[in-house]
Amino acid sequence: MFGLAFTFWSPVVPATAQTDRLVNPGSSWAGPWHAAVGLADRLGDSTGPADVLEAAESEIALGRPMQAIAILSAYALPDSLFDGAPLALRAAALYLLGEYEEAGELFDGAAVFATGLRQGILLTRAAEASEQAGLRELAAERYRIAASAVPAARGWLAIRRARLTDDIAQAFELLRVVPEAGTALAGEVRVFMLAAAGDTAGAVEAMVALGRPGDAGILAFAAGDRIAARRLVYRAIEMRDEDQALQGVAAAVEHFPATNIEEHLAIARAVSRYGRAADALPHVAAAVVAGDSSVETLLFYGQTMETSGNRPDALEVYAVAAAGVGDQVGEASYRWARTLLRLRHREAAFAALGEFLTERPDHDRAAAALFLMADLRQDQGRVRESDSLFRLLNGRWPASEFASTARSRLAGRALARQDTERALELFRLEMENDGSRSRFAQFQLARLTLESGDTAAAREQWIDLAERDSIGYYGTIAREAAGMPPAVFAVPPPHTSSPEVIHQLEVLDLLEASSLEAEATALVAHLSDRDRWEVTDLLDVAEGLIARGRAREAVGIGWVVAGLHQLNDPRVLRVIFPWPNRALVEREAHEFDLDPYLMAAMIRQESVFDPDATSRAGARGMMQLMPATARGLARQLRLDWDNTFLGVADANLHLGAAHLAAMLRQYDGELVPALAAYNAGASRVRRWLRYPEARDWVLFIERIPFPETRGYVQTLLRNRAVYSALYSEPPVP
């Protein structure tokens, strides 16, 4: 969101550029939304040029180019001011409006007043705008001139120049200087040039070599080779690469409709794999109609129906599959019973699950079936029957995930009726089986030990858990229960990155400042490749990406490094739990009287600090706000609001902080129900607060019926402790 500031005010993006403004050294940059709001009332006849430029820049960052142009037009600023800043900002506004030719001329004009890398960046912006305008020769010449000013990006600009020439020999010569990270992009240019020269076979072969059979199939189809095109399209459909698979599906549907069972199923599996069950349904149906009555295909058919929301028909399909033959008949019987339960045919489902267990006591789904029976009886309030089934599950399959949940339920009810001995027995059993809830069991064992009067033993158990689960949720609450001081990680001492990492990150700055998005993406992928770097270099890369607002990619690198190195290294943890935009987060936390570590924890979980993050449900931005929620909050705060601002970091943080503060007020400052409501909604939390476990937040969290929400609350509590431990700024050792 702050790329314009980087482009026009500094030659290379500094690590602190997200918070340190170079437009007006005497002011502090609070983000484009805050700046626009704050400057709107200050603009007048006596306004200084720096404030005028900052106001225009803020409007551009907010996606309001017309307002930026109006501001610049109202003040007769010299074109040469701040190395051509007025021209560059006007160019950026025109670019957003699609006026690419004029934008290119203005970028070029601004470059006259700049020097060095800044001049090269502006020339590159001029070239890219000319390319967008279709002025190929002019764009190529501007890229050539820009390469002289930014030699570090020469190989990347060569890709652009090669794409713009009609001379295949010249193009291939230009591509000789492309860096390794640009190999795939250079390959695309080679494909284009071969195709333009009439060498379709060579172009198809080159595209296949790039690992893109879907694109190769489209090329072959355009050249009239339908046989090769069909083969390549269906090869793409089988790939695990989402873009290629779905591109293959689109090409198949449009040009090469499935003609047999195998092709229908291939398309169905591809689209189903990427969450498009409704698109998969007609293809599975076609396979069944064509004669595929195998249990495997019927199971796929039923699952696709169920995922598409058609459970009644899925139930019928599962019934047919259950009447078939083969190893998967048992799976069909289980799904039929489970679907009955989901359709609220409770007694029929209970009977079907019981029949499944009787006929297939050793089936992989047996533990799941018994758990569903017990869970159903619990929901019906038939607690004694439920407990009996949970005990049976615990006895038959003590090592299963379902047995862990059963022991947790039984122990919770034992505590509710003050049957301490039974609860202790169940918690010990969970630890002996090393179940998924063994850490919860250890925490509760320590609690019961404390209640029995043995304070020292309880504290010893909690300390052991805190050490074994040092950055986990249960370790976090154990540390607090033991009265241990909050964890603190020393600030990593300053160090110097390797020259190669420094160089590559500087090139990334140039590409991003020049709006060469495809090239920047390719370089980030190259930088994130674990096989190319030593562990220390990977950490340097990750820290550099965090400083440049690419925390999501950095976190992925951090987990790789944790596997190669060690998780509890403070540098590794700061990569896995990054804090870009820290000043903005702390500003909003202070305004709404929130814990800044809690806000950082929430943003890490919601979006990994990605302002462009969008969920499938439509939640947007760093704090994943739904548009309707944002509009309501803006009305309450009396803000002039546009939902396009949800993608602007400081605007999203402002409303997100307001929303979190409102949740906390609603629950009298109690964090656990507030976090649960932020994730699952207030109406559900009202219902959950009726549970007897609501008197004890630890037990209440375990009782939350939605695994997603339960994990969300636990993760945020853990994250908050980790952020506090990492960023409370202890002295460097």
Known catalytic residues are 606
DSSP class of 643: G
Which long-range contacts (C-beta less than 8 Å, at least 24 apart) are formed by 366-371? Answer: 366/396, 366/397, 367/393, 367/396, 367/397, 367/400, 367/401, 367/402, 367/403, 368/334, 368/402, 369/334, 369/337, 370/396, 370/397, 370/402, 371/402, 371/405, 371/406
Cβ proximity of 674 and 666 under 8 Å? yes
Q: CA-to-CA distance for 382 and 500, rounded, in angstroms?
A: 67
Q: CA-to-CA distance for 672 and 233, rounded, in angstroms?
A: 50
Look up tokens 């079907």; give the residue. 352
List, in order, residues 6 or more apart from 115 with CB less than 8 Å away.
83
Burial class (CB in 10 A: 0-12, 13-18, 19+), 42: exposed
List, in order, residues 6 or more apart from 425 with CB less than 8 Å away.
none
Q: CA-to-CA distance for 190 and 618, rounded, in angstroms?
A: 39
* Best CA proximity match to 236, nearest among 204, 195, 203: 204
Q: CA-to-CA distance for 390 and 426, rounded, in angstroms?
A: 12
The amino acid sitting at 603 is I
Burial class (CB in 10 A: 0-12, 13-18, 19+), 689: middle
Which residue intervals of 41-80 are DSSP H helices? 49-61, 65-74
Look up tokens 């076609």; give the residue. 286
Token pair listed for 651? 């605007």
* 323: three-class secondary structure by DSSP: coil
Q: CA-to-CA distance for 656 and 64, rounded, in angstroms?
A: 22
Half-sphere exposure of 348 (CA within 13 A, CB side): 11
Cβ proximity of 146 and 120 under 8 Å? yes
Q: CA-to-CA distance for 510 and 523, rounded, in angstroms?
A: 11
Cβ proximity of 397 and 367 under 8 Å? yes
DSSP class of 485: P
Token pair listed for 69? 């142009």
**How large is the C-alpha radius of gyration of the chain?**
30
Sign of the torsion formed by the C-alpha atoms of 328, 333, 336 and 338: negative
Q: CA-to-CA distance for 152 and 514, rounded, in angstroms?
A: 13
The amino acid sitting at 19 is T
* Best CA proximity match to 3, nearest among 117, 131, 92, 112: 92
Q: CA-to-CA distance for 332 and 321, rounded, in angstroms?
A: 6
In angstroms, how far is the first alpha carbon of the chain from the final one?
36
Q: CA-to-CA distance for 607 and 556, rounded, in angstroms?
A: 13
Cβ proximity of 124 and 157 under 8 Å? yes
List, in order, residues 6 or more apart from 389 with CB less than 8 Å away.
370, 373, 374, 377
- Stated length of the chain: 733
